[in-house]
């Protein structure tokens, strides 16, 4: 149990580095795995991305971007990060690197941004900057969610690049603005598709529709915080927080409506009915859903060689139960769900990535947040 | 809990009738249901079928066929039932009525049949007879599994009529003969398709293949005890017992190989490896599978109006955990699995049927086996 580890964190370690490391061997249905905590010195980490060097960029919700190496070393905060509204669910959120990073050094950040006109609202924004030795330079905002809205909840916001180079941004409904997810004049509860420079692709589904924001790819979402591209079909898959019940996996198609809040398999947190309907004409059924909710965060399709029985499976990290749900896929078909790691990890899992080494990496959302490595047991 | 009921069974009740009745209201995700035990006077019941009158025919594994009414009355054994080998998993197994029963009165029974030549082996057979007031007459054997084999295990054997009138018989691998499931010169581990009179349809997949038994529809199965036709596609779906892990739902296509024992998601009961492969070229993946096993018995597609949120869902009864797994389907796609009734029923569930009233009926496999009715709570 990592609880033990936390209790014995080496006294006197620098705040920004940690040599804490603890490994545990855990059985799963198809693989015996070794779970190693590489560091527990991250303050509420939210997103991570591997650099070509093998190091990671890691965001902390409070507003820090750090470089983390697999020996557990954590850098000082990098410069150039935009100012964020670090309150409730907001802050510095996801990080992604450009598909052509090796030649252009672009790094993308999603975050909650205050109203630049001084209003009380905020919204999810995406900025990019060129990564150098000391941090980001040439920083520019490429996406600004509209409208600015006073809420501390449901910002989305996962960043993923499609195989064809478009950038997808997953967004949230801001909770109290949930009805906005059904209208196209705002970004609440939408999945958005832009070019890396922020311009709008001419083949987006609503570019020619009056009163519709042209960045919108799909709508009727609640709070989408997981996104990945299927390795065989190239299609976008997303993971969406339901309320109490009704977490969803969707395969968002351009222009389609995924139903929230008109149709849902969940109820509100206090048990009250948001909609008594699970099926509404003109809206899509989820590809897969959970009742009760597991609080889905990010997800990956596992494409490495370290865990052959998990090849092309969907691994969905979750906050509740500190688990990763493995959906054993045959093409798009979910044949089976296995719950991984739930007895081995005792913090909420906020992000999951596959390393260039084929291992699986997890971030846990805690004041002593961990970077965890999953590899085959020797 | 029905345990309470069992403890207070009315003293002095006739062995063949029971007025025992106990109702319990149980919450599920979408419906509040009332679970009523209509009788607990059935000795290891295995299969049931509704008659046009609204009564049920129920088999008891020991060899009795009884008529049961929904007021809980259980008849004396009906005459005309073939002699069965009632040992271990063998005995009188499933019962089905002809799609044209109202005009022809044919009733079909599956059972374990001794070697008529006096050998020590046995196999699954299917007989039919005309139902009259006292039982079956004009009884004839329409199918005899080959070869006769000395084993007390894995007989299959669910009987279902396709929408086009063909009779499907699901079979088992007889456990110690599991390798036979991969060869076509025997009925072990096969799904079989015949006409109601036992003759072979000319469009069966192996009718023109040398050394293949012409009744075979699909092969590579382990022990198939659940079968139903999808209400929208008309395709056969089956539920198959895995070993330790690897219970499967399949959609058997003509001539296809479902992999057992070359490919499986389970291991043998003692934990030893039967095959370390889950994917083998030339064999089909399951549509859905369970690890650990829930011990799938029969299943239905729910098509009634009493439980609107379950419409067209697959309800899979199981021996372990006394549960019914509800697979929420969208077309063929499993979107979600819900475990129903597990805390309310404390006996193994051997059969599930939908009544003409749209309620759901369960048989439990016990010396005091129950007929249980599931209806919406008032």
Would you place residue A299 in the very low, low, confident or very high pLDDT band (cuts 50, 70, 90)? very high
Element (H, E) at A3: helix A2-7
Grade residue B229 by pLDDT with cuts at 50, 70 and 90.
very high
Structure confidence by residue, pLDDT tens digits, A100-115: 999 999 999 999 999 9
- Which candidate, A89, A83, A156, A142, places its Cα nearest to that of A113? A83
Q: By the 8 A CB rule, do A297 and A351 touch?
A: yes
Cβ distance A334 to B334 less than 8 Å, yes or no, reads yes
User: Nearest C-alpha of chain B: how many angstroms from A350?
Assistant: 23
- B342 and B21 Cβ atoms separated by less than 8 Å: no
Q: Residue B22: what pLDDT?
A: 67
- Determine whether the interchain pair A289/B335 forms a contact, defined as Cβ–Cβ distance below 8 Å: yes
Q: Are A159 and A94 in contact (CB under 8 A)?
A: yes
Mutate to test the interface with B, among A287, A337, A338, A340 (most CBs of B within 10 A): A337
Residue A32: closest CA among A362, A363, A353, A344: A344
Which chain A residue has its CA at the smallest distance from B266's CA? A29
In CATH terms, B2-376 corresponds, of 3.40.50.10540, 2.40.30.260, 2.120.10.30, 3.40.50.80, to 2.120.10.30
Q: Do B337 and A334 touch (CB under 8 A)?
A: no
Helix (H) or strand (E) holding A123: strand A122-132
Residues of B in contact with A314 (CB under 8 A): none
**Nearest residue in B to A332, CA atom:** B333
The whole-angstrom separation of Cα B225 and Cα B154 is: 9
| Separation between Cα atoms, residue A329 and residue A310, nearest integer Å | 9
Q: CA of B94 to nearest chain A CA: how many angstroms apart?
A: 28
DSSP assignment letter at A320: G
Confidence of residue B21 (pLDDT cuts 50, 70, 90): low
Radius of gyration of chain B (CA): 20
pLDDT exceeds 50 at position A13? no
- The Cα B242–Cα B235 span in angstroms is 22
Secondary structure (3-state) at A346: coil
Alpha-carbon separation of residue B42 from B22, B62, B320 (angstroms) = 16, 11, 20
CA B20 – CA B212 distance, rounded (Å): 50
Contact A336 B287 (CB under 8 A): no
Cα-to-chain-centroid distance, residue B240: 10
DSSP labels, A193-249:
EE-TTSPPPTTSTTTTSTTS-TTEEEB--SBEEEEEE-TTT--EEEEE--SBS-EEE
Residue A61 Cα to chain centre, angstroms: 13
Cβ B291–A338 below 8 Å, yes or no? yes
| Res B360 pLDDT > 60 | yes
Best of A247, A258, A264, A265 to substitute, by most chain B Cβ atoms within 10 angstroms, is: A265
Compare CB distances from B291 to A289, A330, A336 and report the shortest one's residue.
A336
Pairwise CB contact (< 8 Å): A334 & B330? no
Please answer whether residues A57 and A98 qualify as being in contact, where contact means their C-beta atoms are separated by less than 8 angstroms: no
For residue A202, give the DSSP letter.
T
A and B: number of Cβ contacts within 8 A: 45
**Nearest C-alpha neighbor of A157 from the set A227, A102, A220, A247:** A227
Tell whether B155 is within 8 A of chain A (Cβ).
Answer: no
Structure confidence at residue B159 (pLDDT): 98
Which pLDDT value is given to residue B314? 98
What is the number of helices (H) and of strands (E) in chain A?
2, 24
Distances (CA, A) of B343 to A177, B87, B238, B352: 39, 30, 26, 17
* Choice among B154, B187, B188, B221 that is catalytic: B154
Q: Which residues of chain A does B338 touch, with a Cβ-Cβ cutoff of 8 Å?
A: 291
pLDDT at A17 over 80: no
Residues of B in contact with A265 (CB under 8 A): 29, 336
Q: Rounded CA gap, A204 and A208, in Å?
A: 9
Tell me, what's the pLDDT at A21? 59
Torsion from C-alpha of A192, A194, A196, A200, nearest 10 degrees: -160
pLDDT score for B57: 98
Q: By C-alpha distance, which of A297, A324, A321, A320 is closest to A310?
A: A324
List of E strands, B294-332: 296-301, 314-318, 324-330
What is the pLDDT, as a whole number, of residue B256? 98
Alpha-carbon gap, residue A289 to A291, rounded angstroms: 7
Rounded Cα distance, A219 and A125, in Å: 18
pLDDT of A323 over the 70 cut = yes
Average pLDDT over residues A55-64: 98
| C-beta separation of B187 from B206 below 8 A | no
3-state secondary structure of B349: strand
pLDDT digits (tens, 9 = 90+) for B151-181: 999 999 999 999 999 999 999 999 999 999 9
pLDDT band of A14, cuts 50, 70, 90:
very low
Question: Which of A227, A238, A197, A228 minimizes the C-alpha distance to A215?
Answer: A197
CA-to-CA dists, residue B122 to B154, B219, B276, angstroms: 11, 20, 31
Check if the beta carbon of residue A346 is closer than 8 Å to that of residue A41: no
SS3 B111: strand
Q: Are B178 and B222 in contact (CB under 8 A)?
A: yes
**Whole-number average pLDDT of chain B:** 94
The pLDDT, as a whole number, for residue A22 is 67
pLDDT digits (tens, 9 = 90+) for A187-202: 999 999 999 999 999 9
- For residues A184 and A206, the answer to whether their CB atoms sit within 8 Å is yes
Encode pLDDT of A136-185 as tens digits.
999 999 999 999 999 999 999 999 999 999 999 999 999 999 999 999 99
Beta-carbon contacts of A120 under 8 Å, excluding residues fewer than 6 positions away, are: A150
Full strand arrangement of the beta sheet holding A45-50: A45-50, A56-60, A64-68
Confidence of residue B13 (pLDDT cuts 50, 70, 90): very low
Q: ipTM of the predicted structure?
A: 0.91
Q: What per-residue confidence (pLDDT) applies to A340? A: 97
Does pLDDT of B313 surpass 70?
yes
- Is residue A16 over pLDDT 70? no
Q: What share of chain A is helix, strand, coil (3-state, %, to 5)?
A: 5, 40, 50
Q: How many CB atoms lie within 10 A of CB A183?
A: 14
Q: Inspect the interface and report whether the beta carbons of A336 and B285 lie closer than 8 Å.
A: no
Q: CB-based contact (8 Å) between A309 and chain B?
A: yes
CA dist A320 → A277, A316, A317, A343 (Å): 25, 12, 9, 12
**How many angstroms separate the CA atoms of B257 and B237, rounded?**
15
CA distance A269 to A108: 33
Q: How far apart are CA B276 and CA B258, in angstroms?
A: 16
């Amino acid at each position: 149990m990592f609880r033990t580890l936390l209790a014995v964190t080496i006294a006197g370690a620098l705040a920004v580095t940690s040599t804490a490391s603890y490994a545990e061997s855990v059985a799963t249905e198809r693989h015996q795995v070794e779970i190693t905590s590489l560091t527990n010195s991250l303050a509420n980490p939210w997103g991570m991305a591997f650099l070509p060097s093998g190091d990671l960029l890691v965001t902390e919700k409070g507003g820090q971007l750090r470089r983390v190496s697999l020996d557990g070393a954590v850098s000082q905060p990098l410069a150039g990060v935009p100012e964020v509204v670090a309150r409730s669910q907001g802050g510095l959120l996801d990080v992604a690197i450009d598909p052509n990073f090796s030649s252009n050094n672009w790094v993308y950040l999603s975050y909650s941004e205050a109203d630049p006109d001084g209003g009380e609202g905020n919204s999810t924004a995406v900025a990019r900057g060129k990564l150098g030795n000391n941090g980001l330079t040439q920083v520019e905002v490429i996406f600004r969610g509209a409208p600015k809205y006073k809420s501390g909840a449901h910002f989305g916001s996962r960043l993923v690049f499609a195989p064809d180079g478009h950038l997808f941004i997953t967004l949230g409904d801001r909770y109290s603005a949930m009805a906005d997810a059904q209208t196209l004049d705002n970004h609440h509860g939408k999945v958005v598709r832009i070019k890396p420079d922020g311009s709008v692709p001419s083949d987006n589904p609503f570019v020619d529709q009056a009163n519709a924001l042209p960045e919108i790819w799909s709508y009727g979402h609640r709070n989408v915080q997981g996104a990945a591209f299927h390795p065989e079909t190239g299609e976008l898959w997303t993971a969406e927080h339901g309320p109490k019940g009704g977490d969803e996996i969707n395969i968002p198609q351009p222009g389609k409506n995924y139903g929230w809040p008109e149709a849902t398999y969940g109820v509100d947190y206090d048990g009250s009915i948001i909609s008594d309907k699970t099926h509404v004409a003109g809206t899509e059924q989820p590809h897969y859903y959970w009742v009760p909710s597991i609080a889905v965060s990010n997800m990956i399709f596992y494409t490495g060689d370290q865990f052959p029985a998990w090849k092309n499976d969907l691994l969905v990290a979750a906050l509740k139960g500190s688990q990763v749900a493995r959906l054993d896929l045959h093409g798009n078909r979910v044949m089976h769900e296995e719950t991984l790691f739930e007895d081995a990890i005792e913090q909420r899992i906020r992000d999951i990535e596959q390393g260039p080494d084929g291992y699986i990496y997890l971030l846990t959302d805690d004041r002593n947040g961990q970077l965890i490595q999953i590899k085959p047991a020797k």
